[in-house]
Amino acid sequence: MTAEPKRVLMTSGHHWSSTFRLGTHHLASGFLRRGWEVAFVSNPVSPLHVFSANRRDVLERARIFAAGGRGYCDGRLWTYVPGALVAPTNKPLLRSEWVCRNWQSTTLPSIGRVLRRSGFGEVDLLYFDSPVQAGLLTRVAHRRSVFRIADRMDGFSSFAPAFVTMQRELAGRVDLVIYSARSLASYVEALGPRNSMLVPNGVDFRHFAEGRRETPPEYGSIPRPRAVYVGAMDEWFDFELVSRAAAEMPHVSFVLIGPDRIARARLASLPNLHVLGARPFDKVPSYLHHADAGIIPFDVAGHARLVHTVNPLKLYEYMACGLPVVAAAWRELEEAKSPARLYQDSGGFMNALRDALETPGDRGAAIEFARKADWDERVGELIGRLDSLGR
């Protein structure tokens, strides 16, 4: 007889079809490749989201809720966005501890009922990447539980103070806490986990190394050399540095890909500074393969608590495409010992970028660094640790 596939219920701050393809998404794909069935449940959408600045994302989440979820990968992946009367966030009333702890009781239909109806009322693994969904620990029968910490959440402006307590409680209740950066180790241990494990960020190596290669249409009017950034451009992004570099290096085209609401307000208006907005994950490799350098210009001085514990996905994604990388020097990147060129200040950034464009270096070394960080390896390590807990 064929064994029943294992099931994992993964909860995340971002829905499955989000612009952002984060570590939890990649781990979900890794479980799928190993034959697991996956439920991917995001944080809720509520009537108050109508006032959100990110209307496109809210509409997509509302559609998933209205459809009762969506199936992918021949039905082996089911994704859902709960609908709730209130949803916790760092805003008046909604940041209260009562809302943060009890929003799941306001879901319509009941989140527990939806999960049971979809075959995930009992699972082999219950996974969290934020404390928002912690109530599922008592609503869903499970054999093992994991809490993934990828950042210092208190470094984000959307982090409600009540989440601090909830994060500590969740870390102490799950079987295993995994974290993505070496520099998060002391932070995680202070939360008092039963067991903890470093599972660094990685890359879908084949997707980037062997992915789409056609020249993006926008590049027809964007001359080389191109220095590209792909990812979030939020408060920790060094807008001032990029504006200054674009002004002082007019021969370089700076291409920024990602949600752009803040970027368009804070970046200088220059002919060689191209803010393209978000692009689908499957198209990102083509933008990288036709660039000349990848940049990670984070504001370390202004957001040290957050940035020093970041293990950036884009480092591996750039390198899987063979790009030389120029990045701000922060603790995690220094310890990674990657081929990236690290800088300390604005002058250092421009010098490192000039050097990367003129002397790209060993492309093969960059690709090999990324190859060793494939997400399938990360999933295998996680499953192995969970199995050892069982023994």
Q: Is residue 53 predicted with pLDDT exceeding 70?
A: no
Q: What is the DSSP letter of 298?
A: B
Q: Which has the higher per-residue pLDDT, 338 or 152? A: 338
Q: Is residue 155 predicted with pLDDT exceeding 70?
A: no
The confidence score (pLDDT) of residue 391 equals: 54
Give the angle subtended at the CA of 371 by the CAs of 369 and 373, to the nearest 5°. Answer: 80
Fold of 7-202+374-390: Rossmann fold (3.40.50)
Q: Of the candidates 247, 225, 354, 206, which has an alpha carbon nearest to the alpha carbon of residue 292?
A: 225
- Half-sphere exposure of residue 128, counting CA atoms within 13 Å on the CB side? 25
* 2: confidence class by pLDDT, cuts 50, 70, 90: low
Please tell me the distance from the alpha carbon of residue 98 to that of residue 111, in angstroms, as a whole number.
18
Residue entry with tokens 């620990």: 137
Do 326 and 346 contact (CB within 8 A), yes or no?
no
Instruction: From residue 288, give the alpha-carbon distance in Å to each of 177, 256, 316.
Output: 33, 11, 12
Question: For 350-390, what is each residue's pLDDT tens digit?
Answer: 999 999 999 998 999 999 999 999 999 999 999 999 999 96
* 57: confidence class by pLDDT, cuts 50, 70, 90: confident
Q: Tell me whether domains 7-202+374-390 and 205-371 share a fold.
A: yes
> What contacts 110, CB < 8 A, 6 or more positions away?
none
Question: For 300-322, what is each residue's pLDDT tens digit?
Answer: 999 998 899 999 999 999 999 99
Question: How is residue 87 written in tokens?
Answer: 């949803």
3-state secondary structure of 83: strand
Do 23 and 50 contact (CB within 8 A), yes or no?
no
Q: Of the candidates 249, 292, 247, 287, which has an alpha carbon nearest to the alpha carbon of residue 270?
A: 247
* CATH for 205-371, options being 3.40.640.10, 3.40.50.720, 3.30.390.50, 3.40.50.2000: 3.40.50.2000
* 188: confidence class by pLDDT, cuts 50, 70, 90: very high
The confidence score (pLDDT) of residue 94 equals: 82
Average pLDDT over residues 335-343: 93
Do 333 and 378 contact (CB within 8 A), yes or no?
no
**What stretches of the chain show up as alpha helix (H) in DSSP?**
23-33, 55-66, 97-102, 111-117, 136-139, 162-173, 185-189, 205-209, 239-248, 261-266, 284-289, 304-307, 313-320, 331-336, 346-358, 363-371, 375-390
Q: Is residue 1 predicted with pLDDT exceeding 90?
A: no
Q: Where are the domains of the chain?
A: 7-202+374-390, 205-371
Q: What is the DSSP letter of 55?
A: H
The one-letter amino acid code at 83 reads: G
* 100: confidence class by pLDDT, cuts 50, 70, 90: confident
Give the angle subtended at the CA of 302 by the CAs of 343 and 227, to the nearest 5°. Answer: 40
Long-range contacts for 250-255 (Cβ within 8 Å, ≥24 apart)? Answer: 251/225, 252/225, 252/226, 252/227, 252/353, 252/357, 253/222, 253/223, 253/224, 253/225, 253/226, 253/227, 254/227, 254/229, 254/295, 255/222, 255/226, 255/227, 255/228, 255/229, 255/287, 255/291
Q: What is the DSSP letter of 3?
A: P
The confidence score (pLDDT) of residue 157 equals: 63
Please tell me the distance from the alpha carbon of residue 101 to that of residue 90, in angstroms, as a whole number.
14
Output the 3-class SS for 176-201.
EEEECCHHHHHHHHCCCCCCEEECCC
Q: Starting from the edge strand earliest in sequence, which strands make up the sheet with 325-328, in order?
A: 273-277, 253-257, 226-230, 293-296, 325-328, 341-343
The confidence score (pLDDT) of residue 211 equals: 85
Average pLDDT over residues 285-292: 97
pTM metric for this prediction: 0.93
The confidence score (pLDDT) of residue 20 equals: 81
Question: For 191-204, what is each residue's pLDDT tens digit?
Answer: 999 999 999 999 99
Question: How is residue 290 written in tokens?
Answer: 């036709």
The share of the chain scoring above pLDDT 90, in percent, equals 80
